[in-house]
Structure 1
Amino acid sequence: MTFLIFSTLFFTATYLPRYAPSIDTGVFYEIFVRAFYDSDGDGIGDFKGIVEKLDYLNNGNAFEDNDLGISGIWLMPIFPSPSYHGYDVTDYYAVNSRYGTMRDFETLIEEAHKRGIKIMIDLVINHTSNQHPWFLNASNPEAPKHEKYRDYYVWTTGDPDGPSGHKWNYIKSMKSSYYSSFKYKGMPDLNFDNPEVKEEIKKIATFWLKKGVDGFRIDAAKHIFNDHSKNSEWWKEFMAYVKSINPNVFVVGEIWDSNELIDAYYTSLDSAFEFEFKDRVWQTVKFNSVTFWKQTDKKHNIFPEGFVPSIFVSNHDMDRPGSHFEKGALKILSTLLLTSSGVPFIYYGEEIGAKGRKPDENIREPMDWYALMEGPGRVHWLDSYKYAFERYNQKADGISVEEQDEDPNSLLNWYRKLIHLREDYPILKTGKMKIIDVEVERVIALKRYSDTALEMAFVFVNISKEVKKLDVSKFPEFFKAEYISLPLGDQEGTNIILPPFGIAIVIVRDSEGTD
Structure 2
Amino acid sequence: MRPLRGLSLFSAALLSACASSSPPPPVPPPSPGSVTLAPPAGDAWYRGAVFYEVFVRSFQDSNGDGVGDLPGLISRLDYLNDGNPATTDDLGVDALWLMPVFASPSYHGYDVVDYERIQTAYGTAEDLQKLCDEAHRRGMRVILDFVINHTSSSHPWFVESASSPRSAKRDWYSWRDTNPAWKQPWDLAYSTTDTWHERNGAYYYGVFWGGMPDLNVQTVAVREEVKRLATLWLQRGVDGFRLDAARYLIETGGGAGQADTAETHAFWKEFSAHVRSVKPDAVLVGENWSETPSVAKYYGSTAQVPGGDELPLNFNFPLSTRVLEGINAGSGGGVATKLLEMRNNYPAGVADAPFLTNHDMVRVATQFSNDTSKLGLAAAVLLTLPGAPFLYYGEEVGLGNGAANNDESKRTPMPWTAAAGGGFTTGTPWYGFASGRETANVETQKAAPGSLLSRYKALLRARQGSEALRTGGLRLFTPTTGPSPTLAFVRTLDGEQVLVVHNFSNAQVSVGPLEVEGTTAEPLFTDTGVSQLTGGSGAWKTSLPARGTGIWRLQ
Task: Give the structure-1-normalised TM-score.
Answer: 0.87
Runs of 4 or more consecutive aligned structure 1 residues displaced over 4 Å after TM superposition: 7-10, 299-302, 379-383, 438-441, 480-489, 492-495
CA shift in 2, pair 1:259/1:308, >3 Å: same
The 1-side partners of 2:524 and 2:95 are apart by 33
2:70 is the counterpart of 1:47: yes
Residue 193 (structure 1) shift: 1.6
The letter for the 1-side match of 2:114 is D
Task: Give yes or no for contact 1:80–1:96 (8 Å, CA) kept in 2.
Answer: yes
Is residue 152 from structure 1 mapped to residue 180 from structure 2 by the alignment?
no
How far residue 182 of structure 1 moved from its aligned partner, in angstroms, is: 2.9
Asked if residue 364 in structure 1 is aligned to residue 397 in structure 2, the reply is no
Alpha-carbon distance between aligned partners in 2 of 1:465 and 1:379, rounded to the nearest angstrom: 42
| 1:79-131 deviation digits (Å, cap 9, x = unpaired) | 00000000000001110110011111111010000001000000000000000
Measure the CA separation in 1 of the matches of 2:210 and 2:216: 16
Structure 2 distance, partners of 1:432, 1:70, is 21
Deviation at 1:320, TM superposition (A): 0.2
Q: Which amino acid aligns with 1:374?
A: G
Aligned to 1:424: 465
Measured after TM superposition, the shift of residue 379 of structure 1 is 7.6
Q: Give 1:459 deviation, angstroms.
A: 1.1
Query: What are the equivalent positions in structure 2 for 1:109-188 lying under 5 Å apart?
Result: 109-141=132-164, 147-162=167-182, 164-165=184-185, 167-171=195-199, 173=200, 175=201, 177-188=202-213
Q: Which amino acid aligns with 1:316?
A: H
Is this contact kept in 2: 1:365–1:382, CA < 8 A? no
Gaps of at least 5 residues in structure 2 are: 1-9, 14-42, 186-193, 252-256, 301-309, 536-540
Q: What residue in structure 2 maps to residue 237 of structure 1?
A: 270
Name the amino acid aligned to 2:408.
E
Q: Distance in 2 between matches of 1:483 and 1:132?
A: 55
Give the Å deviation of 1:23: 2.4
Structure 1 stretch 207-216 or stretch 481-490: which is displaced more? 481-490
Correspondence 1:45-84 to 2 at 5 A: 45-84=68-107
Superposition pairs for residues 444-463 of structure 1, below 5 Å?
444-450=487-493, 453-463=494-504
Does residue 193 in structure 1 map to residue 193 in structure 2? no
- Shift in Å, 1:184: 1.1
Alpha carbons 1:368, 1:393 under 8 Å: kept:
no
Counterpart Cα distance in 2 of 1:38 and 1:29: 18
- Of all paired residues, the percent bearing the same amino acid is 36
Deviation at residue 244 of structure 1 after TM alignment: 0.4
Deviations 1:418-454 (A, max 9, x none): 111111101012111122138995122121123xx12
Shift of 1:140: 1.4
Q: 1:379 to 1:328 in 2, by over 3 A?
A: farther
Q: Which residue of 2 aligns with 1:274?
A: 316
Counterpart residue identity of residue 495, structure 2? L
Letter in 1 for 2:335: W
- 2: CA distance between counterparts of 1:151 and 1:484? 57
Change (3 A) 1:338 1:482: closer
Structure 1 residues 359 and 299, CA gap change in structure 2 (3 angstroms): same
Q: 1:49 to 1:21 in 2, by over 3 A?
A: farther
SS of aligned partner of 1:230: helix
Q: In the TM superposition, what are the counterparts of 1:389-408 in structure 2 within 5 Å? A: 389-390=431-432, 392-396=434-438, 398-408=439-449
Matches within 5 A, 1:207-222: 207-222=232-247
Q: Secondary structure at the match of 2:121?
A: helix
C-alpha deviation, 1:220, in angstroms: 0.6
Deviations, residues 334-371 of structure 1 (Å, cap 9, x unaligned): 11111001110000000011101641010000000011
Is the contact between residue 26 and residue 423 of structure 1 (CA under 8 Å) also seen in structure 2?
no
* Residue from 499, 509, 515 that aligns with 2:545: 499
After superposition, what is the alpha-carbon deviation per residue over 1:384-442, rounded to whole angstroms, capped at 9, x for unaligned? xxxxx53633442x100011001111111111111111111010121111221389951
Using a 3 Å threshold, how does the CA distance of structure 1 residues 54 and 141 change in structure 2: closer, same or farther?
Answer: same
C-alpha distance 151-366 of structure 1, shift in aligned 2 (>3 A): same
SS in structure 2 opposite 1:264?
A: helix
CA contact (8 A) 1:373 1:394 kept: no
Amino acid at match of 2:411: R
Aligned equivalent of 1:203: 228
Matched, 1:307 2:340: no
What pairs up with 1:264-343 in 2 under 5 angstroms?
Answer: 264-267=297-300, 268-301=310-343, 303-304=346-347, 307-325=350-368, 326-343=371-388
CA contact (8 A) 2:333 2:483 kept: no
The answer to whether the Cα contact below 8 Å between 2:458 and 2:525 also exists between their aligned partners in 1 is no
Kindly tell me the number of residue pairs found equivalent between the two proteins.
479
1:257 aligns with 2:280: no
Name the CA distance, whole Å, in 1 between partners of 2:519 and 2:73: 47
Query: For residues 154 and 447 of structure 1, do their structure 2 counterparts lie closer, same or farther at Cα, with a shift above 3 Å needed?
Result: same
Change (3 A) 1:496 1:196: same
Relative to structure 1, the CA distance from residue 493 to residue 299 in structure 2 (aligned partners, 3 Å threshold; closer, same or farther) is closer
**2: CA distance, partners of 1:485 / 1:138:** 58
Structure-2 change in CA distance of 1:188 and 1:330 (3 Å):
same
Separation in structure 2 between the aligned mates of residue 148 and residue 434 of structure 1, nearest angstrom: 56
Q: Is the 8 A contact 1:366 1:379 kept in 2?
A: no
1:344 aligns with 2:389: yes
Please report how far the alpha carbon of residue 75 of structure 1 lies from its aligned counterpart in structure 2 after TM superposition: 0.2
- Which residue type is aligned with residue 477 of structure 1? E
Cα distance 1:426–1:186, how it changes in 2: closer, same or farther (>3 A)?
Answer: same
Give me the whole-angstrom Cα distance separating, in 2, the residues matched to 1:192 and 1:221. Answer: 12
How far the C-alpha of 1:163 sits from its partner, in A, is: 5.5
Note the aligned Cα RMSD (angstroms).
2.6
- Partners of 2:239 and 2:282 within 8 A in 1: yes
Partner of residue 128, structure 2: 105
Q: 1:278-298: CA deviations, max 9, x gaps?
A: 001011011112321221221
Query: How far is 1:478 from its partner?
Result: 4.6
CA deviations 1:453-508 (Å, max 9, x no partner) are: 12111111111221222244x43535355799977873386442211111111112
Contact 1:35 1:379 in 2 (8 A): no
Deviates more, 1:211-220 or 1:354-363: 354-363
Inter-partner Cα distance in structure 2 for 1:271 and 1:232:
14
Letter in 1 for 2:362: D
Higher relative CO (CA 8 A, sep ≥ 6), structure 1 or 2?
2
Distance change in 2, residues 1:492/1:301 (3 Å): closer
